[in-house]
A and B are shown apart, each in its own frame.
Chain A
């Protein structure tokens, strides 16, 4: 099983590194039958080598066959994963699209009311919210987010940053260099379909931190083949409250306080924006997984074809060798 898993990873990640490309460290090395594997190596390295005797040739055939079997079963697994991802994508995409009007409405309201803050970079404490998936095997979705954050942290040395992680996969990429910036990590966010109650809990975790602005990094779902890493900057409540006089042009009921209403609205708007980011990322994750698994399946079948060729060639050379032995034996008589 361990060997199977290893070769599974090979198909997924390095499947282009095919038979005989590097005899010393083959990416497809099989643990199960080491001697047979080495024999296979010898045979593929130099087919005409006269040093390879009959038994080794036979063993190599066996190794190729077991290799073919494992590649075939791996391609079945990746194909199944692709189907599952496609089914999940349909569900999460529907959710994402039905949530769109909510985000758009609030966004346009805040844009018109607080136009002077919109898009302006503030200095001070920043909180980075990295939205990544909980599970791997989904293409470059997570590493793209990690790369953007690393780039930002590398270039901007003046401001203070803190990192809050949603999802488990961003941790691996960031903790080596920036583990000191971590404040909170939340995992299993995407285990079940994302819902708003959950988003509110995450948002409250964010409000517990001190910050001047929040940057949410997530994958924007353009379509099933392309997802773009997006940085959504939301200014902190203090900055919004400084510009609160624009909000006073609205009419309030007598028992309402404009500053409090603005605070509530800010919280709600923040949660909605976060919800949008989480949904977008969940959609992107499934889409990326679908295409990654599709590629893996294609690579596996390509690999299988090449192995079949090797297998047949080996088999033929075994037969030829046997025939030569028989004929020359008969001639010697």
Chain B
């Protein structure tokens, strides 16, 4: 049997990260932001071809996309 995420073309790492993200988001508040803050990064990727930078792209992940706790107060 082929799993649906595999059929959709995800790699295992992507799938595992999405799952982990859902678990983090299911946490209650003090722990939630703490856990989500551990997944942020801000990198720049450059692709090279024949000794020159061909393409630049930023690989980023924001800390918190929705401030549930502050909006619910």
Interfacial residues, chain A to chain B (CB-CB below 8 A): 175, 179-180, 182-189, 191-192, 195, 197-198, 200-205, 207, 255, 257, 260, 263-264, 267-268, 271
Set A186, A260, A263, A264: member contacting B45, Cβ < 8 A:
A186
CB contacts (< 8 Å) of A192 on chain B: these are 40-42
Count of chain B residues with a beta carbon within 8 Å of a chain A beta carbon: 26
Is B6 close to A, CB under 8 A? yes
Set A184, A195, A200, A204: member contacting B47, Cβ < 8 A:
A184
CB contacts (< 8 Å) of B16 on chain A: these are 200, 268
Q: List 28 A-B contacts (CB under 8 A).
A: A175-B51, A179-B51, A180-B51, A182-B51, A183-B48, A184-B47, A185-B45, A186-B44, A186-B45, A186-B59, A187-B46, A189-B41, A192-B40, A195-B38, A197-B20, A198-B43, A200-B16, A200-B17, A201-B41, A201-B43, A203-B13, A204-B13, A260-B2, A263-B12, A264-B12, A267-B12, A268-B12, A268-B16
Check if A188 sits within 8 Å of B61, measured CB to CB: no
Q: Give the secondary structure class of B's interface.
A: mixed
Give the distance in Å from the alpha carbon of A260 to the alpha carbon of B40 in the complex.
29
Give the distance in Å from the alpha carbon of A223 to the alpha carbon of B1 in the complex.
48
List 8 additional A-B contacts (Cβ < 8 Å) besides A197-B61, A203-B13. Answer: A175-B51, A189-B43, A197-B39, A200-B14, A255-B1, A264-B12, A267-B11, A268-B12
Known contacts A204-B13, A204-B14, A191 near B42 by CB under 8 Å: yes
Instruction: Digitize B35-65: 1 where CB-to-A-CB distance is under 8 Å, 0 elsewhere.
Output: 0001111111111101110000001010000
CB distance from B23 to the nearest CB of A (A): 13
Give the distance in Å from the alpha carbon of A257 to the alpha carbon of B6 in the complex.
12
CB contacts (< 8 Å) of B47 on chain A: these are 183-184
Look across to chain A and name the residue whose beta carbon is closest to the beta carbon of B48: A182
Give the distance in Å from the alpha carbon of A220 to the alpha carbon of B52 in the complex.
31
CB contacts (< 8 Å) of A186 on chain B: these are 43-46, 59
Give the distance in Å from the alpha carbon of A179 to the alpha carbon of B54 in the complex.
13
Check if A184 sits within 8 Å of B17, measured CB to CB: no
Q: Give the secondary structure class of A's interface.
A: helix
CB contacts (< 8 Å) of A260 on chain B: these are 2, 6
Check if A184 sits within 8 Å of B13, measured CB to CB: no
CB distance from B49 to the nearest CB of A (A): 8
CB contacts (< 8 Å) of B38 on chain A: these are 195, 197
Give the distance in Å from the alpha carbon of A198 to the alpha carbon of B58 in the complex.
12
Set A184, A197, A204: member contacting B41, Cβ < 8 A:
A197
Look across to chain A and name the residue whose beta carbon is closest to the beta carbon of B52: A179
CB contacts (< 8 Å) of A202 on chain B: these are 43
Check if A188 sits within 8 Å of B44, measured CB to CB: yes
Give the distance in Å from the alpha carbon of A188 to the alpha carbon of B57 in the complex.
12
Give the distance in Å from the alpha carbon of A180 to the alpha carbon of B52 in the complex.
8
Check if B46 sits within 8 Å of A185, measured CB to CB: yes
Set B20, B39, B42, B50: member contacting A188, Cβ < 8 A:
B42
The 9 closest A-B pairs by CB, nearest first: A198-B41, A182-B48, A264-B12, A179-B51, A197-B39, A200-B13, A267-B12, A180-B51, A185-B46
CB distance from B3 to the nearest CB of A (A): 8
CB contacts (< 8 Å) of B52 on chain A: these are 179
Check if B11 sits within 8 Å of A207, measured CB to CB: yes
